[in-house]
Amino acid sequence: MRILHTADWHLGRILGQHSLLDDQAYILRQFVDLAVEARPDAIVIAGDLYDRSVPPADAVTLLDDTLHELTDRCAAPVIAISGNHDSQQRLDFGARLLRHRGLHLFGSVGSAGVVQVGDTAFVAAPFGSRS
């Protein structure tokens, strides 16, 4: 089983007065190319996709573009869970529809589940908030 694992993208991060979005887009393009070349059996994104629970629109677009590229160009399922910086409800939106495309999003504890890839079961347990 080949697993490509990543985490803590923190899309939309601002350092001082400088947005890191262009740098993040550059790195994510390289990540997608690596995923295509490596041909993993599963791609796991373990939380903190965004830098804050209400990310800027361009960060949402970058995540959408990146996940679209991954699911279009890679045969491997993409399994992503929320982290403490993510809005659980925002990551849960559309998750049931996206599973048919090989994108498994788990935003809230209530959406936790198992993704079976061959003989390996991935237990997707998103960050649990106190609210």
Domain boundaries, the chain: 3-124
95-114 pLDDT, tens digit each: 888 988 999 999 888 888 99
Q: Is 85 a catalytic residue?
A: yes
**pTM for the predicted model, two decimal places:** 0.90
Assign domain 3-124 to its CATH superfamily: Metallo-dependent phosphatases (3.60.21.10)
Beta strand 120-124 with 113-117: parallel, antiparallel or unpaired? Answer: antiparallel
pLDDT band at 28 (very low <50, low <70, confident <90, very high): very high
36-95 pLDDT, tens digit each: 999 999 999 999 999 998 999 999 999 999 999 999 999 999 999 999 888 888 888 888
For tokens 């350092």, name the residue: 15
* Region for 61 from its dihedrals, namely left if φ exceeds 0, alpha if ψ lies in -120 to 50, beta otherwise: alpha
- Extract the tokens encoding 43: 């791609």
**How far from chain centre, in Å, is Cα 128?**
17
Given the residues 10, 85, 100, 104, select the one marked as catalytic: 85
